[in-house]
């Protein structure tokens, strides 16, 4: 199924304008969602807003938004007042600077959108994508939509461009806010850790290797419920014992990874000797002489 455009905008840098179409890079529809139901009759539930003071339901037309500036003290805003504060959408992503791709920490990454050239934009689109790819840089700028202003990063991917929405600095916490004790790392421990990393290192990342096991279990359980089957609860795996000796844990990890590739070959070698005939086949062999004797008697 072909992807559907969710909007269009213009990328502007210098005197160059590139009309592009936007496509969502992720699929929210892949998420399994459940509805809230009444346990007794199975009917859908409707959400209500209750006034905490009067303890009565409040209709949507009687609801306004407020900002709590002190404990239980609010300033109210009407929809028109909030609308006046919104950023006017220009449908243009204004590029402000070009920076090395590695200069932006992925912790700032938010939503991602694929960009494709719109009518008349194929040439400048290809030019920008190739220039960014060969310079190992990305473009950073601003984009206004849905009443908000966003920081966006344009980066090359394969033969196209991705517009990555970024978080503002105030939205990202500093790691210095977390207490991380200073701990000495011994050279021998570091060497073993590096060996373990080298043993599991890959030159590329293949996301298809990782599958959502929880989603698969939920889908299977849903299908069984639909078919009227009973669901058997699987016992949770027992927690392994806590490893106290770091060096021993690193050595054990290395030995486990080193032994892993040999297992399939051993299994294939031992398989012919270990294989037993099926019970049905064995029973049939035993029954064949009896059948022959019976046939002679009848004849």
CATH number, position 11: 2.40.290.10
Report the run of H or E that residue 8 belongs to, with start and end: strand 7-13
Domain co-membership, 252 together with 126: no
More confident residue, 33 or 2: 33
Domain-located, residue 53:
no
Whether residue 175 is predicted with pLDDT greater than 70 in this model: the reply is yes
Locate 96 and state its tokens: 């402000």
Locate 128 and state its tokens: 């920008």
pLDDT at 237: 57
Give long-range contacts, CB 8 A cutoff, 24+ apart: 104-109.
104/138, 104/140, 104/153, 104/166, 107/167, 107/172, 108/166, 108/167, 108/172, 109/164, 109/165, 109/166, 109/167
Domain co-membership, 99 together with 14: yes
pLDDT at 231: 59
Domain co-membership, 25 together with 147: yes
Domain co-membership, 129 together with 193: no
pLDDT at 295: 42
Domain containing 193: what range?
186-197+247-261
Question: How many structural domains is the chain composed of?
Answer: 2
Whether residue 120 is predicted with pLDDT greater than 70 in this model: the reply is yes
Domain-located, residue 100:
yes
Domain-located, residue 150:
yes
Domain-located, residue 136:
yes
Domain co-membership, 22 together with 137: yes
Domain co-membership, 128 together with 256: no
Give the DSSP letter of residue 229: P
pLDDT at 170: 94
**CA angle, 47 then 52 then 57, to 5°:** 40
Domain-located, residue 50:
no
Give pTM, 2 decimals.
0.67
What's the average model confidence in pLDDT over 84-99? Answer: 87
Kindly give the pairing relationship between strand 148-157 and strand 73-77: unpaired
Whether residue 117 is predicted with pLDDT greater than 60 in this model: the reply is yes
Return d(Cα 143, Cα 38) in angstroms, integer: 43
Domain co-membership, 137 together with 190: no
| 3-state SS assignment for residue 14 | coil
Return d(Cα 219, Cα 31) in angstroms, integer: 11
Locate 154 and state its tokens: 């344009």
| 3-state SS assignment for residue 165 | strand
Locate 134 and state its tokens: 């060969």
250 neighbors 191 (Cβ within 8 angstroms):
no
Domain-located, residue 63:
no
Domain co-membership, 14 together with 117: yes
pLDDT at 289: 46
Domain co-membership, 15 together with 129: yes
Domain-located, residue 115:
yes
Whether residue 116 is predicted with pLDDT greater than 90 in this model: the reply is yes
Domain co-membership, 98 together with 190: no
Give the DSSP letter of residue 225: H
Whether residue 233 is predicted with pLDDT greater than 80 in this model: the reply is no
Residue in 7, 4, 13, 280 with CA at minimum distance from that of residue 140: 13
What's the average model confidence in pLDDT over 133-139? Answer: 95
pLDDT at 244: 58
Domain-located, residue 210:
no
Candidate from 58-67, 98-107, 234-243, 245-254 with smallest mean pLDDT: 234-243
Domain co-membership, 161 together with 255: no
| 3-state SS assignment for residue 267 | helix
Domain co-membership, 112 together with 251: no
């Amino acid at each position: 199924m072909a992807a559907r455009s969710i909007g269009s905008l213009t990328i502007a840098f210098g005197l160059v304008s590139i009309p592009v179409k936007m496509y969502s890079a992720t699929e929210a529809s892949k998420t399994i969602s459940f509805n809230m139901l009444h346990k007794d009759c199975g009917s859908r539930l409707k959400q209500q807003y209750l006034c905490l003071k009067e303890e009565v339901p409040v209709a949507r037309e009687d609801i306004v938004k407020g900002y709590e500036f002190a404990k239980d003290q609010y300033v109210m805003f009407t929809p028109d007042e909030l609308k006046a504060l919104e950023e006017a959408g220009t449908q243009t992503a204004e590029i402000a600077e070009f920076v090395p791709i590695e200069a932006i920490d992925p912790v700032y990454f938010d939503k991602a959108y694929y960009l494709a050239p719109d009518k008349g934009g194929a040439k400048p689109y290809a030019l920008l994508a190739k220039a960014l790819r060969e310079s190992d840089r990305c473009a950073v700028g601003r984009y206004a939509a849905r009443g908000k202003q966003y920081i966006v990063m344009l980066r090359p991917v394969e033969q196209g461009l991705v517009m990555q929405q970024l978080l503002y600095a105030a939205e990202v916490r500093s790691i210095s806010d977390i207490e991380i004790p200073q701990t000495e790392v011994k050279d021998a421990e570091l060497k073993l850790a590096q060996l373990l990393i080298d043993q599991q290192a890959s030159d590329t990342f293949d996301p298809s290797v990782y599958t959502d096991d929880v989603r698969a279990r939920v889908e299977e359980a849903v299908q069984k419920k639909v078919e009227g089957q009973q669901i058997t609860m699987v016992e949770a795996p027992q927690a392994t014992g806590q490893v106290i000796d770091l060096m021993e844990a690193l050595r054990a990890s290395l030995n486990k990874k080193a032994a892993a590739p040999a297992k399939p070959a051993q299994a294939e070698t031992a398989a012919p000797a270990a294989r037993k005939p099926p019970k049905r086949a064995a029973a049939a062999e035993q029954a064949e002489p009896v059948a022959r004797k019976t046939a002679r008697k009848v004849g």
